């Protein structure tokens, strides 16, 4: 518990008193690729959340559309088990296919022993095993999404930063989150919303350039649902737009009439 409290204090931006999501929530976002004059729908991202006692089971599935598979095929399936209280990760699974590149990872967070047991395999090779010290509160991909939604920007000044540790492959890296203030955004086919916007530093990888920032808009209401996400790529830009919601915890009050 002392380690948990220390990690939360180091992250800089407070979390909500009540989590903005609940058992049975489902979100779907449309994936848009923009490059020059090209601006087309190329896939979808779906998240689902189920509660089992004092833990959440969450899933995030990204799929490119069949026509886009000929250019760049992606199948990303992330799963996570994390605590209802504090969103502390317990287990995480990554099953990735990116245009021929594959990654299959499993992480078990042993908080009593203070380590993450990591099993990582790439491109069909035999898995590597590694114990990563738990000297902070690192997030896997899925719990990172829900942690971002759980951040409370109500009393955070524009420009204020937080540093959030995250497990990528078999190491812990630090993401820099910067509050960009309140913003009104027109969401594709959904209307206009009041939102909180923040940016997050991107780790250089197969798709992303180093030091680029992801821009994120979350609804300025109790749900903190992701409205739009802009990701800079090596070629062009990827946008995610909220398409569909199911079983939200609170009434949507951020929509502008």
The answer for 155, left when phi > 0, alpha when psi is -120 to 50, beta otherwise, is alpha
- Spatial separation of the C-alpha atoms in residues 4 and 112, rounded to whole Å: 12
Every domain of the chain and the residues it spans? 2-246
pTM score above 0.85: yes
| Residue 107 parent element (H or E) | strand 101-110
**How large is the average pLDDT for residues 98-107?**
96
Structure tokens of 38? 């090209």
Selecting from 2.40.360, 3.90.1520, 3.90.930, 2.60.40, what CATH number does the domain 2-246 have?
Answer: 2.40.360
Is the CB of residue 152 less than 8 Å from the CB of residue 162?
A: no
231 φ/ψ angles, rounded to the nearest 5 degrees: -120, 120
End-to-end CA, the chain: 44
Question: Whose CA is closest to 216, among 205, 230, 204?
Answer: 230
Which of 65-69, 107-111, 233-237 shows the lowest mean pLDDT across its residues?
233-237
Express each pLDDT in 184-233 by its tens digit. Answer: 999 988 999 999 999 998 654 544 455 568 999 999 999 999 999 999 88
Across the chain, mean pLDDT equals 89
């Amino acid at each position: 518990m002392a380690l948990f409290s220390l990690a939360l204090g180091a992250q800089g931006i407070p979390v909500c008193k009540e989590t903005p999501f609940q058992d049975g929530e489902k979100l779907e976002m449309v994936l848009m690729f923009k490059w020059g004059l090209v601006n087309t729908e190329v896939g979808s991202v779906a998240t689902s959340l189920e509660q089992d006692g004092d833990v959440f089971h969450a899933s995030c599935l990204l799929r490119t559309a069949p026509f886009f598979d000929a250019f760049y095929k992606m199948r990303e399936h992330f799963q996570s088990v994390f605590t209802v209280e504090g969103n502390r990760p317990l287990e995480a699974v990554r099953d990735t296919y990116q245009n021929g590149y594959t990654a299959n990872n499993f992480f078990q967070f042993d908080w009593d022993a203070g380590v993450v047991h990591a099993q990582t395999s790439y491109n069909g090779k035999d898995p590597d095993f590694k114990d990563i010290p738990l000297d902070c509160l690192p997030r896997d991909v899925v719990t990172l999404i829900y942690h971002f939604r759980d951040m409370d920007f109500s009393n955070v000044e524009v420009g204020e930063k937080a540093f959030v540790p995250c497990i990528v492959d078999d190491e812990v890296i630090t993401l820099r989150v910067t509050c960009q203030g309140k913003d009104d955004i027109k969401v594709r086919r959904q209307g206009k919303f009041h939102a909180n916007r923040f940016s997050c530093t991107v780790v250089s990888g197969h798709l992303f350039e180093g030091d680029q920032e992801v821009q994120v808009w979350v609804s300025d209401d109790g749900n903190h649902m992701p409205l739009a996400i802009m990701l800079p790529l090596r070629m062009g830009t990827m946008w995610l737009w909220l398409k569909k919601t199911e079983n939200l915890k609170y009434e949507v009050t951020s929509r502008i009439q």
